Amino acid sequence: KAGVTQTPRYLIKTRGQQVTLSCSPISGHRSVSWYQQTPGQGLQFLFEYFSETQRNKGNFPGRFSGRQFSNSRSEMNVSTLELGDSALYLCASSPTGTGAVPETQYFGPGTRLLVL
């Protein structure tokens, strides 16, 4: 099976712009989670989608939003970019993210966003 793919891999934007990142999960996986990784804050959970619904959300401002399509692909959008949004954005997928047996999350390579 192909792994989790993320596009684009690198992105440079300026303050005030908006950006959309894309994530394609492993085939058959329906749960998609997004994380922001920065040197100062580490890995921070953004949100999780399952069956086109946001099921869980981290502590990020409303400028950060996402959606999931019927084929489980997910997009993340950041509006009105700030310098502090520069980070590696990671997407992870798992089969369902539910049930008593914990599932392993599989990560994509990430999108490196630089805000100037």
Partner 1 sequence: AQSVAQPEDQVNVAEGNPLTVKCTYSVSGNPYLFWYVQYPNRGLQFLLKYITGDNLVKGSYGFEAEFNKSQTSFHLKKPSALVSDSALYFCAVRVLIGGYQKVTFGTGTKLQVIP
Does 98 contact partner 1 by CB under 8 A? Answer: yes
> In this chain, which stretch among 14-22, 67-75, 76-84, 90-98 interacts with partner 1, using CB under 8 A?
90-98
Neighbours of 39 (CB within 10 A): 7
Cis peptide before 8 (omega within 30 of 0): yes
Residue of 34, 47, 87, 108 interacting with partner 1 (CB under 8 A)? 108
CA end-to-end distance (rounded Å), the chain: 37
Place of tokens 């100062």: 40
**Residue type, position 74, single letter:** S
Residue of 34, 47, 49, 50 interacting with partner 1 (CB under 8 A)? 50
Per CB under 8 A, residues contacting partner 1 are 4, 6, 33, 35, 42-43, 45, 48, 50, 55-56, 88, 90, 92, 94, 97-110, 112
